[in-house]
Structure 1
Amino acid sequence: MAFKPVDAWLLSFKVNWINWADAVKSVTLRATDPENALAPAAYQIVTAGDWKNQWVFASGLAYNWNELTTIYAGHNYGKNPIPSQNSSPLLAGILEHHITLGAARQITTQWRLTGGRRVYAAGQGELHQSAVRQCRSQERSAIPASHVEPPLVAKKNV
């Protein structure tokens, strides 16, 4: 749902239901062809998924600074669907809160430059700490997954 209270502002709200319980039954990690000759040729870990269903609430706003520039902001909330006993540093964390900022600038009639950034995310602390303890207790090391965001995108209007 979106509406314009005044001409320069656009406010939006969205609610999503994500059926994780049917989507993630188990998580399988399989590693092969190690660089270390002493490591096994193949290694596999299977963990229970048992993810919970999730409601996600999002709100956003767009402000037309002038006829060429638009500024964006948004907030997203969804309770973490991964039970802490099933967390792993190998899974990308699902954060509960996200705050984003962005802007767009019309360069020509055919080209628009846009950029955005997640400026705040919270809610993975408990998940991550549990996963690190689990990983250390099993004497394994792992690199947590990370999320890379493109800083700017130039897009041709169609």
Structure 2
Amino acid sequence: MVMRNCFHETEAVPLTPKFLVEANVKWVNWSNANGYDDFDWDDQWVFAVGGQYALTSKLKLRAGYNYAKNPVNEHDGFNGMQMTSVQGKSLPGYYCETFRIIGFPAIAEHHLTLGVGYAFTPKFEINLGYMHAFGNTITESGTDLTGRPVTLESELSENSLDFWVTWRF
């Protein structure tokens, strides 16, 4: 699928009647995305691989891995007193850098997933998924609004659970 600021390709291959492998590659065009182009984020390639094993005709086990390099560039030596234009508005560089470093939720680079699905009938299935994003930290130094030295740091690790129901009509 091709969108204005993203390219996404997925291939799934059944290796055996019980084992399916899927590979996914995605490119995100952060440098030209509306609303993000002022933040100096690098374009990003996202790579993922996963598998599904049918333990029985009704019970499926899933696992996967995802890697994407953190797109946030570090601006060591930024001038927090200098005005910066963001979406046509002027604001102090300190505010812009704080948002760039702390406000972006995708700095984690490595993710593992586990899942299970159970088909009660051919039309009704329940699924549960777990994702762990391994911790990553980014740091940059510069000056605050008064010209004093400051260090900005963002650290992110994440765990999430997903639950979904499939009902085919």
Structure 1: tracts of 5 or more residues without a match: 27-48
Distance 1:80 1:139 in 2: 19
How many residues are aligned here? 129
Asked if residue 25 in structure 1 is aligned to residue 25 in structure 2, the reply is no
| Alignment match, 1:110 | 123
In 1, are the aligned partners of 2:21 and 2:52 still within 8 Å (CA)? yes
TM-score of the superposed pair, with normalisation by structure 1 = 0.67
Mapping of residues 7-156 of structure 1, within 5 Å: 7-23=17-33, 24-26=36-38, 49-85=39-75, 86=97, 87-119=100-132, 121-122=133-134, 124-125=136-137, 127=138, 130=139, 149-156=160-167
CA-based RMSD of the aligned residues comes to 3.2
| Alignment match, 1:5 | 15
Partner AA of 1:9 in structure 2:
F
Distance 1:64 1:151 in 2: 20
Identity, % of aligned pairs?
27
TM-score of the superposed pair, with normalisation by structure 2 = 0.63
Structure 2: tracts of 5 or more residues without a match: 1-10, 76-96
Distance 1:139 1:92 in 2: 19
Partner AA of 2:126 in structure 1:
L
Distance 2:143 2:51 in 1: 40
| Alignment match, 1:40 | none
Larger % of strand: which?
A: 2
In 2, are the aligned partners of 1:91 and 1:145 still within 8 Å (CA)? no
